[in-house]
Amino acid sequence: MYKRKLSLILIILFVCMNFVHADEVFLTDTLKIGFSIDPSENTKSHEVDENSYTLQLIICNKEHNGCSININGNPTGNIAVSETYDLDENHYIKIDSIVFGYCDESRFCNRYYDAYDILTFSIYSKLPLSEEREYICGDEICSFDETCKQDNCCWGETVNFRTDLNHCGDCSTVCGIKESCIDGKCVAESFCGDDSCQKTEDCSSCSSDCKCSFTERCEKGDCITYCGNNICESNENCESCQQDCACKESKKCVKRDCITLEKPKPEMIKEPESIPKTESVVSEDINIAETQKENITSETDVTPKETKKGVFRKILDFFRGLFN
């Protein structure tokens, strides 16, 4: 008799276990927790047969191989992998898997700041699910098997199109291993030395990617022009930087501008005024005059006798000519 009762209990338990496993999955989703995690990945809301549930991952415990979740503000306590927790009389949540200390396959990972835990769960329905479910795209509810970008929904899973690597921008875009999903676009991970100057880099933090031109120099992360680069920039002039903006020979720097110099007008040449002679000059002139007079007298001086003889000879010559 005792053996029959025990067999009956085992059969009932077996049927009940099979009934539980026969429950259909309503949806599957993930929750994450860590310093580097976006709040949208830590807290998610789901509509389950006209009932709304907000699930927030509080903490995961590797020693107990489980996590604690807030469901509509009520803590569940530690739920281990494969354990279930009733949401209502017709639905329950089951922990599918937990990944502790995930680092996105990063080369350098700080377990306290970069690493995070990933909880994968499923919501089961104890009631048979209809093959066709009606949902409205744009009602801000991610319904079962719904795919609607307006509702942030991909095949019944609530996603963040701005940051989700597997649904970056839409439900079908999956980013590569060395890419990140930024504002809905897959962007290659940047690093100093990749020959691309990113928004997070400047000439101070990464001079190899953000080089300044030969006419500029780096000051506090900015490439600026400077006096002495042999180029007269718009913010320089002949006063502030004579080295770069020097005026030409025909011009002069006046009030920060190079002004052309005016040529001087020719002046009228005046005749020199007579200068009164001094006594020394007058005496010198008198000496010169006397010297010249003596020279003339010496050349033309003739005695009175020689003059009379000459006149007499001329008269004789005249008369001789008359009689001959």
Q: What is the pTM of this model?
A: 0.38
pLDDT tens sequence across 158-188: 999 999 998 999 988 888 877 889 899 998 8
If you average pLDDT over residues 46-50, what whole number do you get?
Answer: 80
Please provide the size of the chain in residues.
Answer: 324
Alpha-carbon distance values, 72 to 31, 43, 52, 99, 211 (Å): 15, 11, 9, 24, 53
E strand or H helix that includes residue 32: strand 24-33
Token pair of 194, please? Answer: 């990749």
Residue 193 has a pLDDT of 80
Band of the pLDDT at 24, cuts 50, 70, 90?
A: confident
Residue 215 has a pLDDT of 76
Token pair of 140, please? Answer: 């801000």
Question: Does the structure show a pLDDT above 90 at 93?
Answer: yes
258, 247 Cβ separation under 8 angstroms: yes
Token pair of 117, please? Answer: 């835990």
Band of the pLDDT at 56, cuts 50, 70, 90?
A: very high
Question: Does the structure show a pLDDT above 80 at 14?
Answer: no
Band of the pLDDT at 61, cuts 50, 70, 90?
A: very high
Band of the pLDDT at 213, cuts 50, 70, 90?
A: confident
Question: Does the structure show a pLDDT above 80 at 292?
Answer: no
What does the alpha-carbon distance between residue 283 and residue 9 come to, in Å, rounded to a whole number? 167
